[in-house]
Structure 1
Amino acid sequence: MKYKMNHMLALDLFMLENEDAAVALETTTEEAYYHMPLLSWDMHYFNYHELLAKRRQEAAICAFKELQKTYEWTNDWESIFKEQSFDALVVTNTDEKIVWVSNGFVDMTGYGKTEVLQQSPKMLQGVATTAESKQIIRKNITQKTPFSTVVLNYKKDNTPYYCELKIYPLMVENVTHFLALESAVSGPF
């Protein structure tokens, strides 16, 4: 065969029935033109996943804003969510008990929403979670200040993953809850 197989998609290879078709594909402009739409599936695939992630974030923000109406937090949501990327949202009360999680949390950790309600996010920590990262979280929660850190957490099946946390105090007159924007990230920082 005169064409380079590494430039072909699996779908292209499946559709080619013989070597003559492959040669025609390489040498005929008209045939090459018809080949291009199949390559666009790669672009569509990656674009689809970006759009899907964006839609999931938008749905999580909408669900969070509905929760905000119940608690009447006065935070500036536009500034918190502006240009922020996250996989999951988690809301805890000042006793550090989970009161709400987004669907992304379920996808990221494997825990169901009802399984984690009234649990501490510490349930995600394990033997390799560093004392330093626990101390950073504890200090900033106690001081009720916004912060960002990376912690080693564990999924329900005990698989470890690094999680970037961006935590914001939620206020009415005083801090009543905390919002965590969580993203699975690779490697220690």
Structure 2
Amino acid sequence: MKKTFLLIALTVAGWLSVTNVAKAQYNNWSVGFRLGEPSGLNIRKYFGSNHAFDLNVGTYGGLYGTRRSYRTGQYRSVGLSIQGHYLWHKSLTSNESLRGYYGFGGQINTRRYYPPRLNGEFENALSLGASGIGGLEIFPANKPYSFFLEGGGYVELLQAPFFLSLNTGLGIRYNF
């Protein structure tokens, strides 16, 4: 775990030190890290001047607590999450350094579920649902990276219909 954190920190420091000229790059890829719910790797592909696809792969359940009521039992762990959103984005400033976005998509999660019928034992729970997100992305002048802050929600469809969860996050992406 310490080696992984060190590798991530060195990678981010390397990205921040790059001095290539870069403006808001909407027709390109960006890769970064997202801290929040879910946390993990973030990949974004920009299409044209105002569309993008955003993919998050990482952990689910760590930010708002590992213990949470779920169906007739509880979640008691952090799990894996894969989340994808189709986005619409628009410049909020004349120099395009600040962009707003919103989008909709889906989320797949897996966590340990502790139902009462198993007397303290767990089973792996796979859930599927819809999610929506909105946020702001800041593109510093002449830098190849951007910062983002976002919030939204997740509504589970399978296994516990209408189970709600907040999806919030902040992070950094390298644009290329």
Pick the TM interval, shorter chain: 0.3 to 0.5
Structure possessing the higher relative contact order (Cα contacts under 8 Å, 6 or more residues apart) = 2
TM-score by length of 1: 0.33
TM-score (norm 2): 0.35
Higher-Rg structure is 1
Greater strand percent: which structure? Answer: 2
Higher helix share: 1
